[in-house]
C-alpha cells in the first residue's frame, strides 16, 4: 500500500465513511467508541499524507477507477489540502474526546437518538471535509459541499428546541441558496469549456463574459456558505445555539471548506480571471466583515454569541489575502512581475502563508473558545457575560485556555495568529497597500476589546467565591487547553509552512503572465 502514496487519498475518504456506516449499523451505544478509535487512524493517515506531499514535492493525484480527466474524476492533494486535512483531523479528534461523556450512552440505559446522531454526523462531517479538500472536480466539490451542509445542519439543532431549529432552517436556506448558485456557475463553465476538472479548466478559462458570470455566481454562492459579510446572518444564531462540541467544529472547520473552495476557484481553476478589481472587491467585503463582526461582538450579551460574531470577523481576514497575492498595478500574479521577481515571490509567499496560518490558527483557537464557553455555560448554567465575574477562580484551566486562544485571535506574539497577521501585514506593506494594514491592525484592536470585556471580569472580578452548578471534568479542560496551545504554538512553525503551502499549486509563478 505504501508503495503508492496516492492511495492515502482514498484512505482519507474511506475511513470516515466506513466509520459512519458502521456506526449506523451498530447503533448509538458504540458509535462514539468507533469514532474515537478511527480518529488516531485518521491522524496517522493525515500525517503520512503531509509527509508524502513534502517528500514528493508535488501534488498527489489519484484517478478514480484509473480513468484520467476529462473522462474520469481525479482526487488531488497539494500542500494546501494536506494542511487542511491535518487540521481537520486534529480538531475533530479533540472534539471527539471533548464530547465523549456528553454524548455517551450509559450502560443499562436506553440508547438516545442524540448520541447516535452526534457521532454519525461528526464522522460524516469529517468525510465531507476530506472530500472537499481532495476533490479536483467542480461537480464532486458540489456534492462534497452538500454532504457537508447536510451533516452540519442537524448538528446545529441537535437539542431540538425551537430556537435552534429556526437557526438550522435559516442556515439551510442560506446554504441551499449558496449551493444552487455554485451549481449554476459550474453548469455555465461546463457549457463554455466542456470540462469540470480544475486542472483542465485552469488552462482553458479565458477572461470572457461567461467565465466572469460563472465566477461571480460561484463566489457569491460560496460566500453565503462561508458567512462572509453581508451574507453572515445565519451564522451567529446557528453557531451559538449548537452544543459546544458541534459549534467548535462548525466554526473551526465547516466554514473554512467553502472558503478553501473560493481560493481553489480563483487561484487554481480560473487563474486567468484573477484581477485586481475582483481581488479588491473580495478584500473590501473581508474588511467590512472584520469591522462589522468585531463591533457586533463587542455588543453581545452572551459569550457564545460573542464568539460566533468573532468568527464572522475572523473570516474577513482570510479574504484579505486576495489583493495581497494579486497586486493592483501589474494586473496579474505578483510573482509574474519580471522586474521585481525576487521581492514579488516573497510577497506572494507571505500572503499565502499568512492566510493559511490564519485559517489554521483560527480553527484551533475558535474550537478552544467554543469548548471553553461550553464548559463555562455547563458549570454556571448560563453564559451571560455580565455574570462571569471571577469565573477564573473556579475554572482556572478553562479561562486560561480561553485567554490563550484569545491571544491568538488578537494576534499577540508569539501566537499563530500573530505570525499570520504579521505575514499579512508584511505583504500589505510590500505590495504598497497600506489601507489593508489599517484594517488588520484595527481588527486586532477591536478583537482585544471584545475579549477584554470577557477576560477582565473573569480574571480580576471582585467576587470571592463562585458557586458552580456542575463540576467540570479535568480531561475536558485539558483538551480545551491543548487546542488553545496548538493555536499559540503555531506561531513557532511558520517557517516550515512556507514550502508546504506552495507544493502543487497549479498557478505557479509565471502562469499569470499576460
Partner 1 sequence: MISTTTLFGLSSVILVGLGLFGLIVNPQPLRKILAFNLLGSGVFLLFGVIARRGAGAGLNSDPVPQALVITGLVVAFAATALAVALLLRLFQETGQAITLDTEDPSIHAPARSNDP
Cell of 309: 460574531
Query: Which span sits near partner 1 by CB under 8 A: 76-84, 125-133, 190-198, 442-450?
Result: 190-198
Question: Which contiguous run of DSSP H or E holds residue 62?
Answer: strand 60-63
Q: How far is the CB of 448 from partner 1 (least distance, A)?
A: 25
Q: Which three cell numbers stand for residue 98?
A: 471533548
Q: Side-chain half-sphere of 329: how many Cα atoms within 13 Å?
A: 10
Contact present, 64 and 6 (Cβ < 8 Å) = no
Q: Give the chain's length.
A: 514
User: Considering the rule CB under 8 A, would residue 165 count as an interface residue with partner 1?
Assistant: yes
- Site residues (CB under 8 A) for partner 1, limited to 212-251: 233, 237, 240-241
Residues 65-104, interacting with partner 1 (CB under 8 A): none
317 near 290, Cβ under 8 Å? yes
The dihedrals phi and psi of 458, each to the nearest 5 degrees, come to -65, -40
Are the C-beta atoms of 34 and 21 separated by less than 8 Å?
no
Q: Which one of the spans 154-162, 200-208, 330-338, 418-426 is the region binding partner 1 (CB under 8 A)?
A: 154-162
Angle between the N-to-C axes of helices 434-460 and 416-430, in degrees from 0 to 180, rounded to the nearest 10: 160
Decide: is 168 part of the binding site for partner 1 (CB under 8 A). yes
Binds partner 1 (CB under 8 A): choice among 12, 49, 172, 250: 172
Reading the block at residue 304, the C-alpha cell is 457564545
Contact residue for partner 1 among 22, 24, 139, 390 (CB under 8 A): 139
Which of 8, 121, 123, 167 contacts partner 1 by CB under 8 A? Answer: 167
Identity of the residue, 2 or 162, whose beta carbon is nearer to partner 1 in the bound complex: 162
Among residues 161, 299, 463, 508, the one that binds partner 1 under rule CB under 8 A: 161
Q: Of 160 and 413, which has the nearer Cβ to partner 1?
A: 160
170 or 393, CB closer to partner 1?
170
Q: Site size for partner 1, by CB under 8 A?
A: 42
Within 10 Å of residue 430's Cβ, how many Cβ atoms?
Answer: 19
Q: Under the criterion CB under 8 A, does residue 177 sit at the interface with partner 1? A: yes
* Selected binder of partner 1 within 191, 207, 413, 496 (CB under 8 A): 191
If one asks whether residue 146 binds partner 1 (CB under 8 A), the answer comes out as: yes
Q: Does 311 participate in binding partner 1 (rule CB under 8 A)?
A: no
Please report whether residue 160 would count as binding partner 1 according to CB under 8 A. yes
Asked if residue 427 lies in contact with residue 355, where contact means CB atoms within 8 angstroms, the answer is no
Q: Is residue 305 at the binding interface for partner 1, with CB under 8 A as the rule?
A: yes
Which of these ranges, 298-306, 312-320, 333-341, 434-442, lies near partner 1 under the rule CB under 8 A? 298-306
Q: What is the DSSP secondary structure assignment for residue 319, as one 8-state letter?
A: H
Is residue 299 at the binding interface for partner 1, with CB under 8 A as the rule? no
Least Å from the CB of residue 298 to partner 1: 16
Stretch that binds partner 1, among 186-194, 269-277, 330-338, 351-359 (CB under 8 A): 186-194
Specify whether the CB–CB gap between 152 and 168 falls below 8 A: no
Question: CA gyration radius for the chain?
Answer: 22
Helices 79-98/494-502 angle, 10° precision:
120
Residue closer to partner 1 (CB basis): 149 or 349: 149
Which range of residues in 151-159, 202-210, 279-287, 495-503 is near partner 1 by CB under 8 A? Answer: 151-159
Verify binding: residue 164, partner 1, rule CB under 8 A. Answer: yes
| DSSP characters over 312-352 | HHHHHHHHTHHHHHB-TTTSSBGGG-STTHHHHHHHHHHHH
Cα dihedral sign for 440, 444, 445, 449?
A: positive
Show the CA angle centred on residue 354, arms to residues 349 and 359, nearest 5°.
130
Q: Which is nearer to partner 1, 244 or 405 (CB)?
A: 244
> Which of 166, 281, 288, 291 lies at the binding interface for partner 1 (CB under 8 A)?
166
Q: Which of 288, 249, 278 is nearest to 121 (CA)?
A: 249
The CB-of-69 to partner 1 minimum distance in angstroms stands at: 11
Query: Residue 61: beta bridge partners?
Result: 76
* CA–CA separation, 469 and 455 (whole Å): 21
Residues of the shown chain interacting with partner 1 in the complex, contacts defined by CB under 8 A: 139, 142-143, 146, 149-150, 153-154, 157, 160-170, 172-173, 176-177, 179-180, 183-184, 187-188, 190-191, 194, 233, 237, 240-241, 301-302, 305, 381-382
Amino acid at each position: 500500500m505504501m508503495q503508492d502514496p496516492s492511495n492515502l487519498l482514498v484512505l482519507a475518504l474511506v475511513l470516515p465513511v466506513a466509520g459512519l456506516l458502521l456506526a449506523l449499523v451498530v447503533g448509538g451505544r458504540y458509535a462514539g467508541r468507533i469514532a474515537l478509535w478511527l480518529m488516531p487512524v485518521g491522524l496517522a493517515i493525515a500525517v503520512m499524507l503531509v509527509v508524502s506531499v513534502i517528500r514528493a514535492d508535488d501534488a498527489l493525484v489519484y484517478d478514480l477507477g484509473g480513468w484520467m480527466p476529462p473522462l474520469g474524476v481525479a482526487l488531488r492533494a497539494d500542500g494546501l489540502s494536506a494542511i487542511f486535512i491535518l487540521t481537520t483531523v486534529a480538531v475533530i479528534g479533540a472534539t471527539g474526546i471533548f464530547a465523549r461523556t456528553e454524548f455517551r450512552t450509559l450502560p443499562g440505559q436506553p440508547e438516545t437518538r442524540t448520541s447516535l446522531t452526534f457521532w454519525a454526523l461528526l464522522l460524516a462531517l469529517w468525510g465531507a471535509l476530506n472530500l472537499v479538500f481532495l476533490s479536483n472536480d467542480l461537480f464532486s466539490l458540489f456534492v462534497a459541499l452538500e454532504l457537508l451542509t447536510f451533516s452540519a445542519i442537524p448538528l446545529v439543532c441537535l437539542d431540538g428546541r425551537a430556537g435552534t431549529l429556526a437557526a438550522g432552517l435559516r442556515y439551510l436556506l442560506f446554504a441551499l441558496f449558496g449551493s444552487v448558485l455554485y451549481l449554476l456557475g459550474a453548469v455555465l463553465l461546463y457549457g463554455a469549456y466542456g470540462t469540470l476538472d480544475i486542472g483542465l479548466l485552469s488552462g482553458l478559462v479565458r477572461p470572457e463574459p461567461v467565465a466572469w458570470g460563472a465566477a461571480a455566481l460561484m463566489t457569491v454562492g460560496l460566500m453565503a456558505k462561508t458567512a462572509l459579510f453581508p451574507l453572515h446572518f445565519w451564522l451567529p444564531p446557528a453557531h451559538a445555539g449548537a452544543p459546544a462540541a458541534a459549534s467548535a467544529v462548525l466554526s473551526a472547520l465547516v466554514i473554512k471548506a467553502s472558503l478553501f473552495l473560493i481560493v481553489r476557484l480563483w487561484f487554481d481553476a480560473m487563474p486567468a480571471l484573477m484581477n485586481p478589481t475582483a481581488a479588491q472587491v473580495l478584500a473590501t467585503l473581508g474588511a467590512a466583515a472584520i469591522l462589522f463582526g468585531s463591533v457586533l461582538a463587542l455588543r453581545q450579551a452572551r459569550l457564545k454569541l460573542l464568539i460566533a460574531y468573532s468568527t464572522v470577523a475572523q473570516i474577513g481576514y482570510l479574504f484579505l489575502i486576495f489583493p495581497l497575492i494579486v497586486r493592483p498595478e501589474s494586473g496579474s500574479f505578483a510573482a509574474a512581475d519580471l522586474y521585481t521577481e525576487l521581492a514579488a515571490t516573497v510577497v506572494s509567499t507571505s500572503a499565502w502563508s499568512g492566510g493559511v496560518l490564519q485559517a489554521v490558527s483560527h480553527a484551533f483557537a475558535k474550537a478552544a473558545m467554543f469548548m471553553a464557553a461550553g464548559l463555562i455555560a455547563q458549570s454556571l448554567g448560563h453564559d451571560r457575560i455580565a455574570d462571569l465575574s471571577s469565573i477564573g477562580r473556579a475554572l482556572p484551566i478553562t479561562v486560561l485556555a480561553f485567554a490563550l486562544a484569545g491571544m491568538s485571535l488578537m494576534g499577540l506574539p508569539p501566537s499563530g495568529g500573530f505570525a499570520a497577521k504579521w505575514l499579512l501585514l508584511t505583504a500589505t506593506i510590500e505590495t504598497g497597500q497600506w489601507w489593508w494594514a489599517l484594517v488588520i491592525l484595527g481588527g486586532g484592536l477591536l478583537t482585544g476589546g471584545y475579549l477584554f470585556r470577557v477576560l477582565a471580569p473573569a480574571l480580576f472580578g471582585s467576587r470571592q467565591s463562585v458557586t458552580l452548578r456542575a463540576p467540570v471534568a479535568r480531561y475536558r479542560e485539558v483538551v480545551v487547553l491543548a487546542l488553545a496551545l496548538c493555536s499559540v504554538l503555531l506561531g513557532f512553525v511558520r517557517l516550515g509552512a512556507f514550502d508546504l503551502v506552495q507544493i502543487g499549486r497549479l498557478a505557479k509563478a509565471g502562469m499569470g503572465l499576460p
